[in-house]
Amino acid sequence: MKNRVRTLALLIAFMVVWMAGGEASARNHLSGQRSVYLSRAAGQPVDWYPWSAEAFQRARELDRPILLDVGAVWCPWCRLMDRDTYTNSETADYINQHFVAVKVDFDASPKLVAQLQRAQAMMNLPAGLPLTSFLTPDGKLYFGAGYLPSEGNADKQSFKDTAEQALKDWADKQKINDESFQLEVAK
């Protein structure tokens, strides 16, 4: 009898885990990606897209800026930002409401990442990992940062505070035209 109860409990546990996995993989556009870094984010509540023409088209349709997150599986600050910022439901809701979110694997896209890092450095913005960039739908980098915690403190501005500044800058089209860096957009 104990073995049957144990077997039933294991079966129920397996079903719960399997069902949660199925739900998580359908949360955003990263399920099925070959990159370990991107596939790990498939269950996050942020509606992530991979770097693609589809993401830029979506940003144009919604007239929203792009939040671009560049990271790597070997980067501890990237894992921390994924865990503490992008899995925070309030932060994810804010991102999904105001941005089209795009995630890039540092190791899978070296040319793109080098271009982004050079552009952010030229604009006096942090250029290490994680790389948090804000782009127009036509690929102009206009704002950026590095690691951003969900909750700010005396040393670090919160993700939301930084994103609000990026949205203010987004509204200033003249500033974007004068102080942005055109990137090669995904086709």
Per-residue pLDDT tens over the stretch 19-66: 334 334 447 999 999 999 999 999 999 999 999 999 999 999 999 999
> CA-CA distance, 90 to 184, in Å (whole number)?
32
- Going along 40-79, which residue ranges are E strands? 48-50, 66-71
Name the DSSP letter for residue 87: T
What pLDDT score was predicted for residue 156? 87
Q: What is the pTM of this model?
A: 0.84
pLDDT in tens, 53-91: 999 999 999 999 999 999 999 999 999 999 999 999 999
Question: Pairing state of beta strands 66-71 and 131-135?
Answer: antiparallel
Name the CATH topology of 2-182.
Glutaredoxin (3.40.30)
Question: Domain ranges in the chain?
Answer: 2-182
